[in-house]
Amino acid sequence: MFEYVKKSLLTGVGMALRSKGEMKDLAEEFAKSTQMSQTEAREFLDECQQKYEDARSKLDKRLEKAVENILRKLDLPTRSDIQTLNKRIDDLVNKIENKS
């Protein structure tokens, strides 16, 4: 039963949307209510923090990918497109100045 509750607590998008402080408080409260030893509570809290960071990272990557897809569909230039154009303009300006 404990493992089931623990896994439920650690999964889902809701965890990624909570603040780090909320996750720590929730894990500490859970550890107290289940009467974990201090070592178990520390391990559980560490695991919660790691799962939080992993979920947050995955969410960030998904959001970044979604934004990239939206920009591509809108046919807006990316930063690298603009940098490439700026470099080409600089090269052309240098060629024109060197011919003068």
Residue-level length of the chain: 100
- pLDDT profile of the chain (100 residues), mean per 10: 53 59 72 76 80 83 84 83 96 91
- Kindly write down the DSSP assignment for every residue of 70-82, as one continuous string: HHHHHTPPPHHHH
Please tell me the predicted confidence (pLDDT) of residue 25.
Answer: 75
pTM given for the model: 0.47
Q: Structurally, how many domains does the chain consist of?
A: 1
Contacts 24+ apart (CB under 8 A), 92-100: none
Domain coverage including residue 37: 2-99
Please tell me the predicted confidence (pLDDT) of residue 100.
Answer: 66
- Kindly write down the DSSP assignment for every residue of 33-74, as one continuous string: HTT--HHHHHHHHHHHHHHHHHHHHHHHHHHHHHHHHHHHHH
